[in-house]
A = this chain, B = another copy of it.
């Protein structure tokens, strides 16, 4: 293995994978090396461009900490996350579609009962979200776990604010015996993904904006069913057709119905205008 040139270098690198026991690892590395080398050949990367790439990756790594995951943002904005999502969740059309998980989910969100308020006191336009979780043949799924998370009206998630008093606009609910769920929140706003780092620079250089249309995140799981990771988007949002992370699907865009102050569907009296959302999730068998 000497005198490697443009013509034989890729084969030489691949031949080094002759050893490993793990067939899947070998398959992944073979494809990765093939495509990485093909990319370098195709555009004939210069040394300065290579160094720029090294610097970009290093900076991206240095931006990652407990609160920020710049490599996930990179994957999201290059459409890789949605592609992985699509490949891993090929569902019958009757099932609720997945969309991107994103980097803002937190383990250990507070538990709520149906009809509770998950805002933790964050002010905004009151919104009552309710519906069913069912199997694709229409049977209600009881005790399904519903995790919900969303951005604050200041366009930050609680985890992006070191001064947040605790978890905000996050919660864990359970469907009742008839598969019903309900919670009070506030109407979500569109927001910019963090764009003060290398991913923001990449977007700028690409002539792209960093905005995502307003949405509420959902993760719904029940024994025997495939977990759904998805959003509900707000109909009418200006970014629905240009989501920075390519996540919008028509089936997930919902009407936030506006109401005058008064009595809400759960009987609660609301002293200012509010919204209601109705959405039924449909899960496939695992």
> CB within 8 Å of B: which of A72-124?
72, 75, 78-88, 90
Whole-angstrom distance between the Cβ of A9 and the nearest chain B Cβ = 5
> CB within 8 Å of B: which of A166-219?
205-208
Contact present for A43 and B31 (CB under 8 Å): yes
Select from chain B the residue with minimum beta-carbon distance to A62: B61
Number of copies: 2
Contact present for B35 and A79 (CB under 8 Å): no
| Distance between Cα atoms of A32 and B58 in the complex (Å) | 18
Whole-angstrom distance between the Cβ of A216 and the nearest chain B Cβ = 17
Whole-angstrom distance between the Cβ of A41 and the nearest chain B Cβ = 7
- Asked if A270 is an interface residue, CB under 8 A from chain B, the answer is no
- Asked if A154 is an interface residue, CB under 8 A from chain B, the answer is no
Contact present for A46 and B248 (CB under 8 Å): no
> CB within 8 Å of B: which of A243-261?
243, 246, 248-250, 253
Interface of A is mostly: helix
Contact present for B37 and A42 (CB under 8 Å): no
- Asked if A161 is an interface residue, CB under 8 A from chain B, the answer is no
Whole-angstrom distance between the Cβ of A118 and the nearest chain B Cβ = 26
- Asked if A3 is an interface residue, CB under 8 A from chain B, the answer is yes
- Asked if A49 is an interface residue, CB under 8 A from chain B, the answer is yes
Contact present for B57 and A240 (CB under 8 Å): no
Contact present for B248 and A79 (CB under 8 Å): no
| Distance between Cα atoms of A39 and B79 in the complex (Å) | 13
Whole-angstrom distance between the Cβ of A241 and the nearest chain B Cβ = 5
- Asked if A276 is an interface residue, CB under 8 A from chain B, the answer is no
A2, A13, A86, A88 pick with most chain B CB within 10 angstroms: A2
Select from chain B the residue with minimum beta-carbon distance to A75: B54
Contact present for B4 and A246 (CB under 8 Å): yes
Question: What residues of B have a CB within 8 angstroms of the CB of A37 in the complex?
Answer: 79-80, 83
